[in-house]
Amino acid sequence: MRSHLLFLRLLLLIADILLLEAAFFGVYWWRFQSGQFINAVLFHPEELLIPSLIVGAFWILLFSWFGLYRFDPLQSRAVVALRSFKAAAVGALILFILTFDPLRPLPGSRIILASYAMAVFLIVAGNRVGLLTILREFRVRGIGVFRTLLVGTGDRAEMLLAYLKRNPGLGLYVAGCLGSENAARFQQRNALPILGAWSSFREVLRSHRIQVILLAPDPANERQLGRLVRLLRETRLRAFISADQYRLLVGEVKPTRIPGHPLVDVRPELLSTVERTLKRLTDIFLGSAMLALSLPIWFFLIALIPLDSRGPIFYGQTRVGANGRSFRMLKFRSMIRNAEKRTGPVLTQQDDPRVTRVGRFIRRTRLDELPQLLNVLAGQMSLVGPRPERAEFVERFVKEIPLYERRLNVKPGLTGWSQVHLRYDSKADQTAVKLQHDFFYIENMSLPLDFRILFMTLFVMLRGEGI
């Protein structure tokens, strides 16, 4: 399935490039050669090749920024169209700002620019919606379907089978089932082969060329979900689970459904290679700018912290980063010296008596996190992502929550979705709520969302609502 996706994405990229070039030259001809506007000029296509390639590269990067090359055959066409519209609107706004000189290939005429933006929207949306529609029609006719293993032989599995029969466009062809409870009755009622018991999971995947896995255990077997998900780490297969059971994997976290059907992707693709590169370049550019602009605050805090309490100015702590790698995270010290000498590693709460007077201020304004800009520039962290946890807590959460390790698939962030939505609550353990926000971010990762979080973080700092 991975090679199939790679081919489709390459096909979209080629189609985008060709059609964007056609739109560029078409708009230029309309503006200067159609006779509908004044200031007509002689049309020399060879002189416009380099400008057209530059503008085309701009659109390709913008489409990547909006995740439009993270193509999935099971995507909702409405969601793709909306994302395409956002990308075209943002691109048009940028070009409107840049194209004030009427002698440029894309002049500042609002009519021309609006028409060009509409053409770009039709290109990016039409390519994707058209491809999704064609693939769906193929799957309805049994072409390009995915060999699917249904894990479960109870009532829940039967309900899922009935749903798949009503929606053949999903293309999930169930090659067989895995389970032991009521296996004979299930096989007789649904005319599906039982490929083995739960214990033969690995062997069945290898011997039957499975491409997709549907997890649908009955309540009696739900305890096996965590083990199966951990086994999936050994494969590159896609796996889905019903939305109502997803909470069992992430500790009461509400799921983000794949639009159009009640299934949740257990292992969604996070960012494409281009998106990861753009995210890293954004971290370097913005991180460097933020570091330079915040230097006066650094000097102020370096002088103030020692006056408030004895101890070092900076505080370093080992945290777990992407792929489980440990690194030394830096902060301005906000607690008394040797704060954990008696308590050991504990999660910080509101009104923590270990926090100093200056520490309380810099925590509320997030200024204690400024040294982590050095971690960002070093590539250990990103500007936006789940907050890094200490190894002691990671080990505990991995044992308790089967999907917790997905949190380690991305770089931890200086700020994140949970940081702009939560504050400390001394009366409750917010671990489950933080995970809900972290998984929301992971399942919806995109560069536009990162910028939204950075913008929200600014207001959290100004209001003094940091956690």
Which two structure tokens, joined as six digits, stand for 374?
């050095």
Task: Say how far apart CA 180 and CA 220 lie, in whole Å.
Answer: 11
CATH hierarchy code of domain 146-265:
3.40.50.720
Task: Say how far apart CA 397 and CA 357 lie, in whole Å.
Answer: 32
Helices (H) and strands (E) in the chain — how many of each? 16, 10
pLDDT at res. 261: 54
3-state secondary structure of 316: strand
Contact 312, 338 (CB under 8 A): no
pTM of the full structure: 0.72
- How are beta strands 314-320 and 326-332 bridged, if at all? antiparallel
DSSP letter (8 states) at residue 389? B
Q: What are the two backbone dihedrals, phi and then psi, of residue 383, each rounded to the nearest 5 degrees? A: -65, -35
For the chain, the domains span 2-140, 146-265, 273-463
Q: What is the helix, strand, coil percentage profile of the chain, to 5? A: 55, 10, 35
- How are beta strands 314-320 and 172-178 bridged, if at all? unpaired
Chunked into runs of 10 residues, the chain (467 residues) has average pLDDT values of 77 93 86 67 71 91 88 85 92 80 54 86 94 92 89 82 86 84 74 81 85 81 71 78 66 43 68 84 94 93 87 88 90 76 57 76 86 94 91 80 75 89 55 76 84 88 67
3-state secondary structure of 27: helix
3-state secondary structure of 253: coil
pLDDT at res. 252: 39
